[in-house]
Amino acid sequence: MAKLDVKFIREALAGKWDIDVVVDGKKVSHLIMDWPDAFGLCLGVEPGKFVSEEVTVEKGVRQIAMAGWRSDVQRWYGHWYNDKGGYGELQYTYQEGNTLYGYIHDVPEDGADPVEWSVAVEIPDHDHFIYRYFGVKGNKELHARRIK
């Protein structure tokens, strides 16, 4: 397994993104996501405030999210908490070229069963990425194009 390049992660994913959510090859929704240059401190909002409904991965859910490098375990971690009592964690565990690999543990709302996903983030260039989720509930993809 190749070691993660934290500088690459920050530079490749920070910014504002126009994203199509694709399930079984069909576009099912669209969203705008803002991961500011302060990536590693907070995603999409000033510290301590909720992300607006328009910029979250799931429409209609407000959330607080933080991400950053854990040098003690050499992994990129992301954590989020939403207004429905849900929470989740992302870890990128290794990298091959311009593709990040890891997993997500997600509890969408209070009392819900956890959902586990394997993830691969292919970053072909500075202005695009494809985020692939693989799990028992099916597969989905986020096709992203950089806005700024």
- Selection from 52-61, 68-77, 111-120 with the highest mean pLDDT: 111-120
Q: What are phi and psi of 9, to 5 degrees?
A: -60, -50
In this predicted model, what pLDDT tens digit does every residue of 79-106 receive, in sequence order?
Answer: 888 888 889 898 999 999 999 999 999 8
The model scores a pTM over 0.75? yes
Q: Which of 145, 140, 144 is CA-nearest to residue 22?
A: 140
Q: What are phi and psi of 58, to 5 degrees?
A: -110, 120
106 residue type, one letter? D
Q: Which of 112, 69, 104, 68 is CA-nearest to residue 88?
A: 104
Q: Which residues lie below 8 Å from residue 68, measured CB to CB, with a gap of 6+?
A: 40, 41, 76, 77
Name the DSSP class of 85.
Answer: S
For a pLDDT cut of 90, what percent of the chain falls above it?
A: 34
